[in-house]
């Protein structure tokens, strides 16, 4: 199954970001991808954290959700829309939500980001909990590929990557990690964490990321990549800026690695 990880440098307007997403999705489809995954915050990187509140949608309807459904139908793609802001339990917060769409435009899975990023090194300060309400439930879906295999696809978002117990609980063949890692934390930890999650779970990992200097001044690490179950980086975007990273994922490779090293069956704790 061919999978595309899409890298963006999202700006401060939803319309401009959706135009960029449409370009990248079309490129992924043209490259033969069956599944295309957008990064976290693909629809908005606002001037302020609270800008998310102004564009939040109710689950099931809204401009961004309509866009994802239409793109999936029009391109015949499975699409996972990185994250978008959905209504939360109060007016001061949103859910940071990843939605998966079938080629028929049907939303087949919803995951609300569980772990909320907080970082302060004296120069950069982030605290997602100020505006984001965390989720609580793990989420995976089944993707029947064109070659007849059924892939179990597990959903996660960005900071979740630092919590291995989430991924073990998914029991997935392919782990998705749409992200907006800061340049500081990404440079230090991005690749090693992604490869570790792949090795620990004997699973493929697809990690689309924000990558570059944004209108709001933030700089994200990028390096969108796909990793195989042995920890091998199959494809990676080395430079900043938007782009598409594509790789073929082999179910036979997955089965062979799991047979040779049956660590998942050796669990005790």
Query: Annotated active-site positions, please?
Result: 40, 113, 158
Phi, psi (5° rounding) for residue 98? -105, 130
Structure tokens that stand for 61 in this block: 């309807």
CA–centroid distance for 190 within its chain? 13
Buried b (16+ CB within 10 A) or exposed e, 31-66: eebbbbbbbbbbbbbbeeeebbbebbbeeeebebbe
> Distance (Å, rounded) from C-alpha 169 to C-alpha 64?
29
For the chain, the C-alpha Rg in angstroms (whole number) is 17
Phi, psi (5° rounding) for residue 23? -60, -45
- Sequence-ordered list of residues with C-beta below 8 angstroms from that of 2, at least 6 positions apart, any chain: 31, 32, 33, 34, 35, 246, 247, 248, 249
What separation, in Å, do the N-terminal and C-terminal C-alpha atoms of the chain show? 33
């Amino acid at each position: 199954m061919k999978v595309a990880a899409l890298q963006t440098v999202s700006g401060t307007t939803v319309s401009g970001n959706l135009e960029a997403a449409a370009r990248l999705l079309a490129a992924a489809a043209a490259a033969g991808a069956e599944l295309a995954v957008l990064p976290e915050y693909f629809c908005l990187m606002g001037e302020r954290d609270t800008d998310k509140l102004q564009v939040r949608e109710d689950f099931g309807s809204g401009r961004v959700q309509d866009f994802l459904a239409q793109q999936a139908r029009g391109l015949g793609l499975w699409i996972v829309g990185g994250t978008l802001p959905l209504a939360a339990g109060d007016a001061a917060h949103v859910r940071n939500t990843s939605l998966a769409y079938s080629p028929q435009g049907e939303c087949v899975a919803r995951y609300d980001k569980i772990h909320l990023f907080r970082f302060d090194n004296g120069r950069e300060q982030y605290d997602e909990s100020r505006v984001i309400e965390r989720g609580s439930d793990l989420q995976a879906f089944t993707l029947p590929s064109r070659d007849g295999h059924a892939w179990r696809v597990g959903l996660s978002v960005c900071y979740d990557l630092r919590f291995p117990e989430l991924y073990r609980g998914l029991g997935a063949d392919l782990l998705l990690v749409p992200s907006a890692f800061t340049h500081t934390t990404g440079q230090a930890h991005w690749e090693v964490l992604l490869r570790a999650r792949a090795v620990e779970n004997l699973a493929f990992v697809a990690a689309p990321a924000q990558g570059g200097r944004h209108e709001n001044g933030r700089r994200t690490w990028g390096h969108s990549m796909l990793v195989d179950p042995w920890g091998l980086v199959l494809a990676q975007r080395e430079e900043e800026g938007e782009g598409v990273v594509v790789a073929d994922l082999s179910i036979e490779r997955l089965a062979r690695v799991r047979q040779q090293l049956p660590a998942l069956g050796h669990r005790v704790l």
